[in-house]
A and B are shown apart, each in its own frame.
Chain A
Amino acid sequence: MAREERAAWVGLVVSLIAIAVYAAVVAGRAASTPLLEVDWLGPMLWTIIGGIVVSIVVTIIWGVVAEGGSLRGENAADERDRAITQMGDRVGVAFLVIGGVVGIALCAIDAAPFWIANTLYAGFALSSVVGGIARVVAYRRGLV
């Protein structure tokens, strides 16, 4: 498996886990606290930062195990990797835009910060997951 494909898989799996952890923590807190009073900021920041750090660490470790950690050589990113990355970004960015627009609309109607923040987070999360799925599917099934 080429380096960029490994990174695509790691990004997708870590994103799914981070989203699941965030949802579980917030849902758990909401069981004993009114939803709009739940402390969402800490779990959101920790799962975002943690997801990024874990993705980097796992990608590095997988690279070391698979190819001795070399950053060059036969597995360096090529034009197909760049095309797949760009395609994944194009697919994912639509959800970022939707999340942003809905977030603005929620601000306009003075919605609670909980809903605004979580709408924006949902946009990021969907962008990451759907873009990641598009990448791994392109690596497996082809991009022509």
Chain B
Amino acid sequence: MVKPTRVTNAIRELRTDRGLTQADLAGAVGVTRQTLIAIEQGKYSPSLEMAFQIVRVLDVPFDAAFQYPED
């Protein structure tokens, strides 16, 4: 059921750099705080649409927030 994902993210660092709380970012994206926590901890891979919403709120390029290994 739980399979590893190779997608990583820097949302926690980007969020704290901007002085946003988990509740702030979750509210801006329109998800529960638990979902944002799961994303930050790599326990949930957001949909492409939610990922775009997150980078838009954080105002960063997509690959600054989400990374995928080259190989």
Contact = CB atoms under 8 A, between A and B. Distances in A.
Interface of A: 1-3, 5, 74-76, 78-81, 83, 87, 91, 134, 137-139, 141-144
A142 B2 contact: yes
A117 to B, nearest CB: 31
A138 B31 contact: no
Given A2-B35, A79-B50, A87-B1, A143 B30 contact: no
Contact of B33 (A74, A81, A144): A74
Given A2-B35, A144-B43, A78 B30 contact: yes
B: interface residue count bin = 20 to 34
Nearest to A5: B34
Given A141-B2, A142-B41, A79 B46 contact: yes
B34 to A, nearest CB: 4
A130 B42 CA distance: 25
A74 B26 contact: yes
- Name which of A74, A76, A142, A143 has the most chain B CB atoms within 10 A of its CB: A142
Given A134-B1, A143-B2, A78 B35 contact: yes
B32 A137 contact: no
Interface in B13-32: 23, 26-27, 30-32
Given A74-B27, A138-B2, A144-B2, A2 B34 contact: yes
A78 B32 contact: yes
B12 to A, nearest CB: 15
